[in-house]
Amino acid sequence: MIKNDLYLKALRGETVERPPVWMMRQAGRFLPEFRALRDEYDFFTRCRTPELAAEITMMPIRRYPLDAAILFSDILVVPQAMGIDFKMKEGVGPWLDHPIRTLEEVQNVVVPDVNDTLGYVFDAIELTLQKLDNNIPLIGFAGSPWTILCYCVEGKGSKAFEIAKTFCFQNPETAHLLLQKITDTTIAYLKRKVEKGVSAVQVFDSWGGMLSPEDYQEFSWKYINQIVEALSPLSHVVVFGKGCWFALEEMTMSKVSALGVDWTIKPEFARVLTNHTMTLQGNFDPTRLHSSPETIRKMVHEMINRFGKDRYIVNLGHGILPNIPLENAEAFIRAVVDWKPN
């Protein structure tokens, strides 16, 4: 039995004294202890070494009174397991020497046995759960098929992913073949995470907002929904689509447990679009954490009051930035812990 189950209560839509809080990328670059490990081990070595991944997952939990932990990993471990050789290039980020841009290249992409190719992630879950000692839930995650495709076709990060979008529009059948392979691998991956003991899974659709509402349905949501349909009987499923407020109504009709929203939508409008029935997560602008601790506390309390304390998970509208002061991150978290209804 998990001692602090606020996060799970919010996912179940239960009444709570205060909303739970965690931060996307909380086990990451803004922590000095993370940077110390970064200087010693390269990025994917940290992902692939269960002891390191578990230790990094615990770093923010030891510092702050968070209501959930999220396993340290990366969305690109899935395409790596499929034989797509991503690297993390210094000063550039994700990098693929040979992007996937032809039918033959897509046909050569494998749907792997995740136990063989991603066993290090499942071992990290076991180690992390031992360290958490049933104090708070552990979240597992994956990237959306569309977001993974963007990196596979573009070969690197991009402001607009024009190459990836052009690939889909010129070769839709090839694009759908790749998307389905990613989807099948992701479902197997997340199912195994649930079997290993995570309490919820989150799908990150970081680049869904690059698509029009119509193209989003074709190239992103229908694949995310396959994941939701497959995982919802087994676990809570949270979907976060950055810039995807236009799809909230349709997402609400799915079997998701919660929907993440970014800072470009008002809490009241997000509630309207989700028919006041959905647990929402978000939506503090990560750059706002550069404000003073006093301003952060005030804004967080206003945000909770606008969303309402029930069916709500306090979070950022995207991942925490690497240059955020530790005391400002703490102000964000403690503002939630100390929140009281008016």
In this structure, what DSSP letter does residue 21 have? B
User: What's the token pair of residue 100?
Assistant: 């996937």
Q: Residue 206, annotated ligand binder?
A: yes
Q: Is 332 annotated as a binding residue?
A: no
- 192 tagged catalytic: no
Q: Is 285 labeled as ligand-binding?
A: no
Tokens 């995207």 belong to which residue?
A: 318
Two tokens at 45?
Answer: 């070595």
80: tokens are 């790596």
Task: Please say if 306 is a catalytic residue.
Answer: no
Active-site residue flag, 29: yes
What whole-number distance in Å separates Cα of residue 207 and Cα of residue 217? 13
Q: Are 174 and 103 in contact (CB under 8 A)?
A: yes
Pair 8, 200: CB distance under 8 Å: yes
Catalytic residue among 151, 216, 223, 312: 151
18 assigned ligand-binding residue: no
Annotated binding residue at 91? no
Specify whether the backbone of 312 is left (phi greater than 0), alpha (psi in -120 to 50) or beta. Answer: beta
Q: Measuring CA to CA, which residue among 88, 149, 140 is closest to residue 114?
A: 140
Dihedral through CA 73, CA 159, CA 265, CA 202, nearest 10?
-20
Instruction: Give the three-state DSSP class for 13.
Output: coil
**Residue 28 annotated as part of some ligand binding site:** yes
- The annotation status of 26 as a binding-site residue, yes or no, is yes
The reply to whether 74 sits in an annotated binding site is yes
d(CA 16, CA 8): 10
Backbone angles phi, psi at 280, to 5 degrees: -110, 150
Three-state secondary structure call for residue 239 = strand
- Contact between 56 and 37 under an 8 Å Cβ cutoff? The reply is yes
Residue 113 bears catalytic tag: no
38 is known as an active-site residue: yes
Q: Which residues contact 139 (CB under 8 A, 6 or more apart)?
A: 22, 68, 69, 70, 71, 198, 199, 200, 201, 202, 238
Confirm or deny that 180 is annotated as ligand binding.
no
Q: Which of 5, 46, 64, 74 is catalytic?
A: 74
Token output for 241: 């689509």
Token pair belonging to 283? 């939506």
- Tell me how far CA of residue 303 lies from CA of 24, 138, 151, 261, 309, in angstroms: 17, 25, 33, 13, 10
Residue numbering of the annotated binding site for substrate: 25-29, 44, 74, 151, 206, 318
Residue numbering of the annotated binding site: 25-29, 44, 74, 151, 206, 318
Residues annotated as part of the active site: 25, 29, 38, 74, 151
